[in-house]
Amino acid sequence: MKVVQTTVSPEEHALLVARARRAQRSLKDLLRSIIRSYLTSDDVNADDPFFSLKLKGKKGERGSVEHDVALYGTGE
């Protein structure tokens, strides 16, 4: 096993401790479970700005071919 260390706010720590107590688990076990769940999740993040793009194409445009330019610009 590897040790991973991070910093959380006092509020986040209190919420994590409370959640662990409710689940009758140690904080360490809860965090391992959260990490495992995150790493095995293939869910789409609805808050990702990519999914809120509303591109309006014109007839004859090659949006499906030149989508990088439409999404990211020309880089100039």
Exposure letters 4-40 (e unless 16+ CB within 10 A, then b): eeeeeeeeeeeeeeeebeeeeeeeeebbeeeeeeeee
Does pTM surpass 0.85?
Answer: no
Name the residue with higher pLDDT: 45 or 10. 10
pLDDT digits (tens, 9 = 90+) for 24-39: 999 999 999 999 988 8
On the question of pLDDT at 62 being above 90, the answer is: no
Tens digits of per-residue pLDDT, 39-49?
Answer: 888 777 778 77
pLDDT (average), residues 10-26? 96
Q: What is the mean pLDDT of the chain?
A: 83
Can you give the residue ranges of every domain in the chain? 10-39
